[in-house]
Amino acid sequence: MTTKTVTDTNAAVIEDRQQLIDFFASGEKAADRWRIGTEHEKFVYRTADHRAPSWDEPGGIRDLLNGLTQFGWRPVEENGKIIALTGDDGSVSLEPAGQFELSGAPLDNLHQTCAETGRHLQQVKTIGDRLGLGFLGMGMWPDKARQDLPVMPKGRYAIMLRHMPRVGGLGLDMMLRTCTIQVNLDYASEADMVKKFRVGLALQPLATALFANSPFTEGKPNGMLSYRSHIWSDTDPARTGMLPFVFEDGFGYERYADYALDVPMYFVYRDGQYLDAAGLSFRDFLDGKLDVLPGEKPTMEDWSDHLSTAFPEVRLKTFLEMRGADGGPWGRICALPALWVGLLYDQGALDAAWDLVKHWDMGEREDLRNSVPALALDAPLPGGGKLRDIAGEVLDIAHAGLTARARTDAAGTNETGFLDPLREVVRSGKVPAQVLLDRYEGEWGRDISKIYDEMSF
């Protein structure tokens, strides 16, 4: 969740539809200016009893945020309450039940990304040790029911919590019980965006499989390997999914703008307050006919906010967001940007990845996405075989892309080593969730509390 910032540009009133389309074009960058933005979430728990702390209790989320200011982070408040931080390493923000997120700064290479992640985790562990807090790297709370979890004091979350049960059965679980790793990447042109979007959507199920890490619900196996991914299938069909139109002829900025206009609204932010606009139409807003703000037209900031309330597997803003991976421990965080940077930031790799998936039809893509939460690498592959049959080839393509980028650290090492955790998954044939299930049935003696020893940062 990015921190809200208003500038003269995005405060401008939208006078015509073309401004919505131009917003996406404004993200275009020459290849030498492409950056990597990595986001990762983690669960916060009391080390004494594994309870999820509230925002305002002594030693809770508020004190964790305040504690981090000793490292130069600057507080962000909403209604007088600290709800986020900004600093040189991006921003720290809260998901609805206190999941702690670093939205990293846009960086040139994966060495910088991994160093940034390491700094953040060292900082939160320093403050967490002082407060008696730990941090768990999973895709879903393994042992918490909804009623066990607090809600953070952010206005947009109150609106979403009211609205979610109206449109899906698992939206509250998405908000309260899940964590993800995500990477945000640039594009050079509309055509470049289109190709990256298509490759990202087609191969998002592979990322979901390789990072599958949410096999437990309320202390027991839930029958899935990525329950987090399954949750998205019953959250809100109007704002989730594989976006078939992305693969249609003529797809580009305008078509995505039309899609976003048809996504129902959640809120409008005015004078420090979130106004409930859940279910209303941004098209009506463009015409000055929004019930909660009659006669007023939206600004570019409203458009930016609205785009953040669509949740497809890949999302377009002024960059592309890869959204399919479960949260996980430190050792796997840097592997996600390594995968997507390798595939999308070298033209040869991008072309090879597209050649691998371009013949799949939309029904096959949907079937693959729908089968991955339960089957991971054993999901049926379009044309026959299983997803695991192309996993190694995709990693080889990413490896070649990272090699071609030739971004090295001080020791002269390139970025390909960040793929090693994924190579191990393919070599072993077991995704992270399957390893945890084996331990649950074996050495843990079905004691889910052991996961805190295994998966904490």
Q: What is the identity of the amino acid at 142?
A: P
Angle at 290 between CA 286 and CA 291, to 5 degrees: 175
- Domains of the chain, by residue range, sit at 18-455
pLDDT at 11: 81
Alpha carbon distance 246, 225 (integer Å): 27
The whole-number average pLDDT for the span 207-226 is: 98
Cβ–Cβ < 8 Å for 212, 374 = no
Query: Between 190-210 and 420-428, two packed helices, what is the crossing angle to 10 degrees?
Result: 50
pLDDT digits (tens, 9 = 90+) for 144-169: 999 999 999 999 999 999 999 999 99
Residue whose C-alpha is closest to residue 24's, from 303, 342, 336: 303
Q: Which residues, in sequence order, are bridge partners of residue 13?
A: 299
Cβ–Cβ < 8 Å for 10, 304 = yes
CATH number, span 18-455: 3.30.590.20
pLDDT digits (tens, 9 = 90+) for 384-436: 999 999 999 999 999 999 999 999 999 999 999 999 999 999 999 999 999 99
Alpha carbon distance 209, 369 (integer Å): 10
Higher-confidence position of 12 and 29: 29
Alpha carbon distance 326, 41 (integer Å): 9
Higher-confidence position of 2 and 425: 425
Query: CB 275: neighbour CB atoms within 10 A?
Result: 16
Phi, psi of 178 (to 5 degrees): -125, 160
Residue whose C-alpha is closest to residue 65's, from 146, 145, 3: 3
pLDDT of 85 above 90 = yes
Phi, psi of 217 (to 5 degrees): -135, 125
pLDDT band at 6 (very low <50, low <70, confident <90, very high): very low
pLDDT of 48 above 50 = yes
Residue indicated by tokens 């298509």: 198
pLDDT digits (tens, 9 = 90+) for 108-127: 999 999 999 999 999 999 99
Residue whose C-alpha is closest to residue 378's, from 183, 201, 208: 208
Cβ–Cβ < 8 Å for 58, 48 = no
**Encoding tokens for residue 252?**
């580009």
The whole-number average pLDDT for the span 85-90 is: 98
Pairing of strands 314-316, 267-270: unpaired
Q: How many CA atoms lie within 13 A of 400 on its CB side?
A: 12
